[in-house]
Structure 1
Amino acid sequence: MVTLLLDSTQLEVVLSLSERALSFRKGNVVIERSAITRVQLTDDAWTWLRGYPSPGSYVRGVIAMGTWRSAGGDDFALIRRRRPSVVIDLEGHPEYQRIILTTRHGLALVQALRVEVDEQPADVAEIAAETGTTPVIPEKKPRARKPPAAAPVV
């Protein structure tokens, strides 16, 4: 799971060792708050991918990690399966135009970007706890399956 650190000047996407290896990236992704133009929540991050991974890892429907190059600009993706995600549009960032992350703290991130925060970096989940808002992901209902058809009697 991705860790997001937010302070008054920047948002930092802290990558684990495996995320660094799969995204072919040596360090974390640092985004100045002034470069963030829009933050959107989405249930299907796969629809936001554009272009091709270069460098990056891609297994259709399972993971998409790394830099995605397209004519519209470069994006950084960190997507796992079909989980709730956040899309961060950037303007003036030296590397990327968009960041696409699978995180269960998307709602907390949106709310944390609206409030003033301390100078010390804090985990987005902790900021959500302080503001009294906890994102809740509704559980999916299992599909009802049809019983198998009876074999014809001969």
Structure 2
Amino acid sequence: MASVAVEGTDIVVRLSWREKALAHHRNVRVPVSALRQLYIEPDWWRALRGEHDRGTCIPGQVCAGIRHLREGQDFTLVRAGTPVLCVELRRAAPFSRLAISVPDPEKAMGTLQPLVPRDRLE
């Protein structure tokens, strides 16, 4: 299962080789400065937005890859029946949101929460 960590000035989503194959994507790296908001979505399907573009989406099981929206794109690695860590990013970031099913979303959120800016500027 994917993991989220902070490495230097980046937030890194590490994917297993199977997840990389499903998502058609390598590990995801975004700058900490792009972090805007964090929350845990208990209903996995609510974390999905936009249209599926690249990757794999098996209804009721998993959705991994890039999803396009009018205002940008999301990276998703969402497994059915699991809560999802949602990382909202600023406009300058490569993604609008990272939606990731991780083994312990509360722990991952605790790691990232101190990095969320107080100003909430876009």
TM-score > 0.5 by shorter chain: yes
Is 1:101–2:104 an aligned residue pair? no
Structure-to-structure mapping, 1:127-138, within 5 angstroms? none
Quote the residue 1:53 is aligned against: 52
Corresponding residue of 1:73: 72
How far did residue 30 of structure 1 move? 0.3
Structure with higher RCO (Cα < 8 A, 6+ apart): 2
- Normalised by the length of structure 1, the TM-score is 0.68
Partner of 2:61: 62
Does the aligned pair in 2 maintain the 1:84–1:104 contact within 8 Å?
no
| 3-state SS, counterpart of residue 36 of structure 2 | strand
Separation in 2, partners of 1:28, 1:81: 21
- 1:7 pairs with 2:7: yes
How many residue pairs match? The answer is 114
TM-score when normalising by structure 2: 0.85
Q: C-alpha separation between the residues in 2 aligned to 1:98 and 1:64?
A: 14
The CA deviation at 1:72 is 2.9
Distance 1:21 1:104 in 2: 19
Q: Deviations over 1:111-133 (max 9, x none)?
A: 212448xxxxxxxxxxxxxxxxx
- Can you list the C-alpha shifts for 1:80-122, whole angstroms capped at 9, x where unaligned? 11101111000121x2100001113221122212448xxxxxx
1:23 corresponding residue in structure 2:
23
CA contact (8 A) 2:3 2:103 kept: no
Q: Which secondary structure does the structure 2 equivalent of 1:103 belong to? A: coil
Contact in 1 for aligned 2:37/2:88 (Cα 8 Å): yes
Q: Distance in 2 between matches of 1:12 and 1:108?
A: 15
Q: 1:13 corresponds to which letter in structure 2?
A: V
Structure 2: how far apart are the matches of 1:37 and 1:15? Answer: 22
For structure 1, the 5+ residue unaligned runs are: 117-154
CA distance, structure 2, for counterparts of residue 58 and residue 115 of structure 1: 33
Alignment RMSD, CA only? Answer: 1.5
The answer to which structure has the higher strand fraction is 2
Choose 1 or 2 for highest CA Rg. Answer: 1
Deviations 1:48-71 (A, max 9, x none): 211222111111110000000121
Change (3 A) 1:60 1:13: same
